[in-house]
Structure formats: C-alpha cells, structure tokens
Structure 1
Amino acid sequence: MQTPLGKRTRTAARRFVSVAAIACALCTGAQAQSIASDVGASERINVAGQLSTLSQRIIASACNLNSGISVRESQAVLQVSADQFSVINDALLYGNARMGILGEETRSRTLQVIEELDNAWEPLLDEARATPVAGNDNARIQSLAEQSEPLLETANILVAEITGQYADPVALLHADALLIDLAGRQRMLAARMSKDICLIASGIAVDAAKADLAESSALFGDTLAALRNGMPSVGVRPPPSQKIEDGLQFVVEEWENIQPFLARAAAGETLNEAERQRVFFAFLGIEARMNNVVVSYDQNSKLGL
C-alpha cells in the first residue's frame, strides 16, 4: 500500500525548482538577461528557489541528529537552515539591500504564498529543533518528513509565482533558463537524497524512502550527465565556461564516489556510522558546489548584454 509520504515524494520529485534558484541565502548571484535590475528581481527569484532545498536539508540534519550521526555538524546545518529561511523570508517580504533585493513585496498572490510557506515552516522548524541528540525518536522524524513534502510543494509554487511576476519571458534566453533551472534543481535533489539515506538507515518509512531515492538518484544522474556533456536534442549546452566545467567535474567525481553507498542503502544493507557521515558530508559538498555552478550560469547569461 502506498503511503502518503510515498505519494508526495514521487509527486514533488517531478517538479522543477525555478529558473533562478541559488543555494546560499546570502549569495545574490548575477541577474539573468530577462530580468529588470531596479528592484533586485533576479535576486528575489534566486533566494526563493533556495527554500525548496531548505525543506529537504532540515529533515536530513534532524534525522542524522536523531541517530547521533555527526552531531555537531547536524546541529550546525539545522541552525544554518533555520537562519537562511528567516533571512530569505524577510528579504522577500521587506527587501534587503545587502542581498540586492530592493523594496517591499506588494503583490497579493505572492504575499499569500509567502505567508502559507511561513505558516508551514514554523511548526516544522520547532519540531526539528526539539530533536534530541541520539534520541531515536523515529516518530518525530517521520512526522517531519511528511511535513516537508507539502512545504516543498509550496516553496516551488512561490518560486513559480515570483518568476512569473518579475521575469520577462520574451527576453529570457531559453538555453540560459534551462541551464539555470536544471543546475538549481540539483541542490534540492542532493538534500532530498541525503534525507532519504538517513530515513532508510533509521528504519523510517523505508519503502517510500527507497522509492524516492531511486527516482531522485536517476533524475540527478541524468541531469548531471546532461549538464556536464550537453544534450543538444533537448537544448542543453555543454558548460559555457571553465569555472562551470570545473564545478560540475567536482560533482561528477563526488557523485561517482558515493554510488556504492547509495546502492547498498537501496538494497537494504546497513551503513555504519562512518559511512553515514561520509554520505551526509558528500551531499552537503555537492549542494554547495552546485550553488556556485548556478551562480556562474546566472553570471554567464549576462555576458551578451
């Protein structure tokens, strides 16, 4: 029987993270060709996209904390995720000149979705912060995982609303938009797979997590190959700069290095504490490196201006 968590994970994994998502709440990135710069439109789209990643990353950190895995790092990641959400939420509502976001948000539909996201985030954050170290409170982690799915869907809706509000689809080059979109989605998938590995290792919603891991892994691998090598048949160009190529190469190598761990987890084998730490850190590294790649794609899209 398919669980609600399983249904939502497969639905959410098919959604694209928005065109201009970035992974660091304090990184402003560069503006895409199609986006007006007077109110920080590109920056609004970028930071809104990060909320999708946070919805998954906070569960991965709470899950590892619950299992006593990399406790200090898990606590730090949880706190950073909480801080990032707060900064992004306030910036989208009221502006943040340091982040390049100028002026308050006034559009009623955008304000409504920001409010819906904030209302879903706060109880999840409170519950995640209350996770006891090595408490093995699996009911709490399952509850968090289930809450994270509608949160991810709302985050994706917000990105779509902000993109539609601020971007000029006539001027935006499809090739640049596609590259930024695909690279941005990879961060969310990395955080999602990290979450799934921990759920499987902890014996929480195992069947649903395995199915989600398989789907996310396939999607991540296919997209990474397309970004690294190009896929002209669907309009994906090879890396347009050496910086992007180097960033993607790092991700390729790290992705290959953790494949044995993913395969073992998918097969139901138990990962020891050191192996679980290795996977947790690897996905954090992949997410961080993809942050840089997204910003580089965004910067590259301006070169023709």
Structure 2
Amino acid sequence: MSNQSKLPIKLTASRRFAFSGLSRIVTAASIGLCLATGATAQSIATDVGASERINIAGQLSTLSQRIIASACNLNSGITVRESQAVLQISAQQFGVISEALLHGNRGMGVLGDETRARTLQVIDELNTAWGPLLEQATATAVAADDTAQIKALADQSDPLLRTANILVSEITGQYADPVALLHADALLIDLSGRQRTLAAQMSKNVCLIASGINVEEAQAELAKSAKLFSDTLSALRNGLESVGVRPPPTERIEEGLQFAVEEWDAVQPLLAQVQNGETIDQAARQRLFFAFLGIESRMNNVTVQYDKNSKLGL
C-alpha cells in the first residue's frame, strides 16, 4: 500500500472493522463524548454550555496526541484495524468539536456562537495547524515503517498541543463564571480532562520510542507526562487543598477515579520497561496501546461526571 493512500475520513467507515471487546468500549466512549452532556445543559436556561465548552476544548488537546499515537501504531503494523479506526474517529471528532466551539451544538450542550475575539483567534490558529497534520496522519499506510513521515508528525505534536492547551486556558478563564460555573468545578473539569491528554501523549511517546523516532525527546516527555498523570490522579482521588482540588464530590466519581488508579497501576511494569530503554515486543506494544485508550476513556467518563455535578447547585 502506498504512503499516499488516504483513509476516508468517515465515521461510518470504522464500522467495517471487527473490534476486540476493549476497543469497542473505547471507541463507543469516544464517539459518545460529543453527546454525553448536552441534555443537562439544555435544562438550565442561563447556561450556554460553560462546563461543556471546557470539557470538549480539552478533548481537542487529547485528539492532537491520540491521532499521532494511532498513526504511529498503524505505521508500525500494531493493532492495525483498531489504530485505523481510532485515527479516523479522531479526525472526525476534531472537526465536530471545533465547529461546536465556534457555532454551538445543542446536542453537545454548547449553545450559541463564540464571539470573544481572543478565543476565535486561538481556534483559528489551532485549525490552521491541525490541517497539515491531519493530511499527513490520514495518509499513513499500514505497516509502512515510514519513520520520516511519523517523525514529521511528531515534530508538529508539541506546537499543536501548546495551541490546544492555550485554547483550554482561554475558554476556562472565559466561562468559569460563578453564575454558571464555579471556579472550583472548572478546575476539576480541566484537570480530569487533561488526564485524557496525558494518556494519549504517553501512548504516542511509547510508540515513538519503540519505533526509534525522536527517542530522547520522547523518553523525557514520557517521564514528565507519567509523573504529572500520577500526581494529578492522586490529587483528584484524595483532594489537594493547597491548590484548591476538592476530594471526589460523588460516589460515582470516586469509583471512576479508583478504577483509573487500578488501570494506571496495572500499566506500570510495561511502562517502566519503556522508560528504562528496554525493547518491548509487538504484543507489549499492543497492550500499552489498548491500556492508554482505556485510561483515556475512563478519565473521559470521570470528566463528564464532573461536568454533570457542576450543575447540581444551579
């Protein structure tokens, strides 16, 4: 298959693939993100989707990393059908979320056009950077072992993520209004949402290291992301009063975070091998790819629960 063969960017195309149980769950959770919180927002007349905007803006950061992770694994011939499907879904989701932030999407709980000039500027910058990366990522051929292509994607990763994180910060500052969303709730939504991004970022870096691409940079970033994920998970699970992080406000959130802790603990032995520079085989790479997708999905569910809980006092 030529490197120039492009995958059709259609959500329906992913239905042709036979998924394992885990990947079906992960994919369904990813698709469901766009509809997970809309009904709650629609019931509150004064809310234009403040918490939903923070939530889905954070998902753009996640997608900026997930699409590179899936392209890297596809290029290496790792979990081909699942990598291909995740790549397609990520491409489709980015466009849907970006459009919702610009013009609203009632089904996602985002109401009305964005009017703030600075927010519009950052969305435009993000879309401009996303275009070339998307074109390169969706041109990935199965098991092509094209390190130059994946390196080109990896080199765009950090600038794209920085812009996506700036957008999250802008939207959080803009919409964390006590009338619709308390700052404490906005912080919890932001932090749990960033855990999704860290999971996707670690998945990307594991693949880069195993593929021999930007190894030193990827190892440094992996170590940093792993520590931040672990520290943030502990803060969310137990609370951290010094920085304003409250303990889990509901039993469902507490259970979700506990599951995330268990899944994170389970991935540590393989992750340690990668961090120590040990070679891992194809089966181990597959397990890590699915594990990080699972952790991302788990943290997405927690973020949605934080979102819903933020509206209970309105």
What is the TM-score when the length of structure 2 is the normalising length?
A: 0.83
Measured against aligned partners, the alpha-carbon deviations of 1:186-239 in whole angstroms (never above 9, x if no partner) come to 111000000010001000010111111111101111111121222334333322
Equivalences for residues 208-227 of structure 1 within 5 A: 208-227=217-236
Is residue 294 of structure 1 aligned with residue 303 of structure 2?
A: yes
2:134 match: 125
Deviation at 1:29, TM superposition (A): 5.9
C-alpha distance 66-270 of structure 1, shift in aligned 2 (>3 A): same
Equivalences for residues 32-181 of structure 1 within 5 A: 37-168=46-177, 172-181=181-190
Measured against aligned partners, the alpha-carbon deviations of 1:9-66 in whole angstroms (never above 9, x if no partner) come to xxxxxxxxxxxxxx9233336879xx98443333223211210001100010000001
- In 2, distance between residues paired with 1:135 and 1:195? 17
**Pick from 201, 205, 208: which aligns with 2:214?**
205
Measured against aligned partners, the alpha-carbon deviations of 1:155-202 in whole angstroms (never above 9, x if no partner) come to 112222223333316875443333222211111100000001000100
- In 2, distance between residues paired with 1:29 and 1:101? 7
- In 1, distance between residues paired with 2:154 and 2:136? 11
1:250 match: 259
2:241 match: 232
Structure 2 residue runs without a partner (length 5+): 1-31
2:37 match: 28
C-alpha distance 118-233 of structure 1, shift in aligned 2 (>3 A): closer
1:17 match: none
C-alpha distance 90-232 of structure 1, shift in aligned 2 (>3 A): closer
Deviation at 1:140, TM superposition (A): 0.9
C-alpha distance 192-278 of structure 1, shift in aligned 2 (>3 A): same
Contact persistence 2:38–2:110 (CA under 8 A): no
Deviation at 1:153, TM superposition (A): 1.1
C-alpha distance 112-206 of structure 1, shift in aligned 2 (>3 A): same
Contact persistence 1:94–1:103 (CA under 8 A): yes
Structure 1 residue runs without a partner (length 5+): 1-22
- In 2, distance between residues paired with 1:233 and 1:116? 34
Q: What amino acid maps onto 2:209 in structure 1?
A: I
C-alpha distance 188-112 of structure 1, shift in aligned 2 (>3 A): same
Is residue 191 of structure 1 aligned with residue 194 of structure 2?
A: no
Q: What amino acid maps onto 1:106 in structure 2?
A: T
- In 1, distance between residues paired with 2:111 and 2:179? 23
Identify the structure with bigger relative contact order (alpha carbons < 8 Å, sequence gap 6+).
Answer: 1
Deviation at 1:253, TM superposition (A): 0.9
Deviation at 1:300, TM superposition (A): 1.9
Matched residues, number: 281
Q: After the TM superposition, which of the residue ranges 277-286 and 44-53 deviates more from structure 2? A: 44-53
Q: After the TM superposition, which of the residue ranges 138-147 and 95-104 deviates more from structure 2? A: 95-104
What is the TM-score when the length of structure 1 is the normalising length?
A: 0.86
Q: CA RMSD in A?
A: 2.1
- In 1, distance between residues paired with 2:98 and 2:232? 29
1:13 match: none
Q: After the TM superposition, which of the residue ranges 172-181 and 141-150 deviates more from structure 2? A: 172-181
Measured against aligned partners, the alpha-carbon deviations of 1:259-293 in whole angstroms (never above 9, x if no partner) come to 01111001111111111111000110111111111
